[in-house]
Each structure stands twice: as C-alpha cells, then as structure tokens.
Amino acid sequence: MYSEKVMEHFMNPRNVGEIEAADGVGEVGNAKCGDIMKMYLKIDNGVIEDVKFKTFGCGSAIASSSMATELIKGKTIDEALSVTNKSVADALDGLPPIKMHCSVLAEQAIKSALVDYSKKNNVKIEGLEDIDFDDEHLHDIEEE
C-alpha cells in the first residue's frame, strides 16, 4: 500500500525539529483528522538556506513533510512556491488516494511559512496574495 520511499521517510524523517529565530514559520492543520504540521524556514537572499518541520500526524503526513523539506532546501522562494502536494506525493513514489490530503498539508505548510516570511520582512511574494489561510479549504480533507 505504501511505497518504499514513504516508509523510508516515515522511519527516518529528514529535517525534523525547529529553527530558532526562523525567518518564516507556518502552521497548518486538518480539522477532520486533527493532524498539525509546522514548518520553519531560514531564508537568505531569497534562498531557503534551512528548513525544519514538526508534524503531529499520520505517517503519510510525516513522510510528506520530510520530502517537502528536501524538495525546498537550497531552493529559491519561487522554486519552493512551485512545490505542490502532487509533486510531494510524486517524489514519494505516490501516496494511496485516501492519503493524498496528507500531502496537501505539506504544500500548505510551505506556503504558510512563506506568507509569514513575507509579512515579517515586508517582502511581496508573487503568487501568495491569493491564498487565504483562514479559508476553509485549508482545513478540509482534499482527496483526489
């Protein structure tokens, strides 16, 4: 049911923890399962120098967070913004359909941390303006 990569990232998640005085911190949750994901970014010159996460959630959410941190570490803000739940799931060699919503948390955690960064630093990030993090969709289970 789960790919080897999912199992591997679940058993040995990368970049677990938190960054003190992070430049951006995002927290998202899924009201239906109660899972919570927190993401910390260290950003220098538009590049994500470091990223850490803490996920209180299911194995797929932990594997998704771990993979998401790997996908954005060392990348530019624009590159991080292009990471979607699908790219996270693809990088994990897929997630079972009923677990796709877990990867949505990873995408939203990245975006939420970037929103925080943009607010704290008064930096405008194209593509983030349209996201309403109070919006219901963040808390809904999204399945494909």
* 89 touching ligand FES, by CB under 6 A: no
What is the CB neighbour count within 10 angstroms for residue 136? 8
Q: Which of 25, 39, 58, 71 is close enough to bind ligand FES by CB under 6 A?
A: 58
**Burial of 131 from C-beta contacts in 10 A (0-12 / 13-18 / 19+):** middle
102 touching ligand FES, by CB under 6 A: yes
**C-beta of residue 33 within 8 angstroms of C-beta of residue 141:** yes
Residue 106 in contact with ligand FES, rule: CB under 6 A: no
**Which one of the listed residues 7, 16, 33, 131 is annotated catalytic?**
33
Active site residue 33: yes
Are 142 and 64 within 8 A, CB to CB? no
- Give catalytic residues, as residue numbers: 33, 102
Interface with ligand FES (CB under 6 A):
30, 33, 35, 57-58, 60-61, 102, 105
